[in-house]
Structures are given as structure tokens and as C-alpha cells.
Amino acid sequence: MSGERAKVWVNGALLDPEQAVVSVFDHGVLVGDGVFETVKAVRGEPFALTRHLRRLARSAAGLGLPAPDEAALAEGAREALASAPDWPLARIRITYTSGPGPLGSARGDEGPTVTIIVAEQHPFPETADVVVVPWKRNEHGALAGLKTTSYAENALALAYAKERGGGEAIFGNLAGNLCEGTGSNVFVVLDGELVTPTLESGCLAGVTRELVLEWCGGVEGDLPLPELYRAEEAFLVSTTRDVQPIRKVDDTVLPAAPGPVTRKAMEIFADRSAERSDP
């Protein structure tokens, strides 16, 4: 199709971008009261859509929001994607908020707002330089492990990392352990073993993290943050980056990027994801 933008799905209607509007009273805008998912699409086909929608439902439940209609959202995602140009790689953003409400934290009674936006996704660099930020994830907080629209902390952290030459920011948690990136999970190789932080660390239960553990092995464990600097290898995983080797942590260049464990994970993930679009 001609054109550069896809239509936008808003509460069940597929609209031109200029017509796709959300109320200024929506609590997703006013107080960040919502959840979201980003889904990769390869040559017009969404990847792991079922897993993403299940996580959206878990995040919504964690915020006390009504259960989303997963079947309707899957159809909406496909409709929005079908309206897009023939991008080889795209991202689908599904946002689900508590809907319009008063000027305060109390929720309104009009019901949720749902939007689905599709945009072109450009490949990430072959390797990542990461920066450890001075702020800590609160693994005991009400939002721990939920993918919410309250992303100001991530925006601040990513800006901090980019000011220092990094492509991703890395958080520790209050316990002093490695947690996650702003939009990624972290795997490290220590003494030959592939390890990623536990969900109890406060990190998001990433879909790509889950698939890497299923397909490539590895263990979950508590990792003191300084262990990241002595890793033999390390990599980031996320929906839009798949498996991305970490080249440097702050000023510490890791021994290999990618090393043999990372390279194997990259190959396995590429092969398995090519076999099934909705694993």
C-alpha cells in the first residue's frame, strides 16, 4: 500500500491518524494509569502475540483494571498491521488505560481506553553499550513486574545513559542486585553459566526473556550488580531487539561481544522464531 503511516485502532474503530484522539481527561494521560505491550511484526506477521496479550491481561489485573478482551485486541492488532505499509519490520503498540476520570487519582466510570498503533521498526545496532544508572528499581513496589504506562523513570534513565554514550540504561534494585534495562532484560555469562535475574528482583517478565530461557537454557538467580562488570559475556533481550550482545558496561569493555554463549543464543532464537510466529 502507498503512504507512510498505518491506521490507528481506537476502542474498536480503525481510524486515520489525524482522527485518532484520546480524551485529555484519560487517566493514561493524567496519571499514567494504564498498561501496554509492544509486539514485533516481521513481514506483516505479529510475533508471539498470544504471549504479549496474556501479559497485558496480567498487568491489567495487577493494576485492578477490567480484563481486556484478548481476542478483540488480537483482531485489532492484525487490522492495524494490515493497514500499514509493507515494512519488513514493525512494532505494534497496544495501550490499555483506565479511561477518562477526574483530576486526581480516583478512577472514573466510563471504562477503559484501548489504542493500537503500528510503526516501522529499524534494527538495533549489532552490539550495545550500556550505562548503569544511579537510581534503583523498587522490587517491593506496587508496580514491580507490571508493564505500565508510568514510564517517566525509564525515560529519565535512558536519557542519562545516552548522555554518556550508552544505548540502554541498566538498573540495580534496592537489594543491590542486577535488575533490568529500561526496555530490556539482561543475561550474563559468569564462569561459563548463563544467568538472568529472577522475577523477584523486580524485573519485567519479558516475553523474549521467557523464550530465551525456554529455547536456550540458562538459570534465574540473584546477581549482585558488580557481577555485571566481570561478566565473560552479556546480552540484552527485548521484543524489538531479540538478542543483542553487550559490548561495554560503563567504561568496562567485556571480553567478547558476542561470545560463544551469546552467539549460540542468537542463532537459536533466530531459528526458532522463524519456525513459529506465535510460539
Kindly report, residue by residue over 129-182, the tens digit of the pLDDT.
999 999 999 999 999 999 999 999 999 999 999 999 999 999 999 999 999 999
pLDDT in tens, 181-208: 999 999 999 999 999 999 999 999 999 9
Flag residues of the chain having pLDDT under 70: 1-3
Task: Name all contacts of 15-24 with Cβ < 8 Å and 24+ positions apart.
Answer: 20/115, 20/117, 22/113, 22/115, 23/100, 23/113
Q: What is the pLDDT of residue 1?
A: 37
d(CA 180, CA 243): 14
Grid coordinates of 217: 537454557
- 8 Å CB contact between 181 and 130: yes
- SS3 state at 154: helix
- DSSP letter at 251 equals T
- DSSP letter at 224 equals B
Q: What is the pLDDT of residue 124?
A: 96
User: For residue 279, is the peptide bond before it cis, meaning its omega torsion is within 30 degrees of 0?
Assistant: no
Q: What is the pLDDT of residue 2?
A: 39
Grid coordinates of 14: 480503525
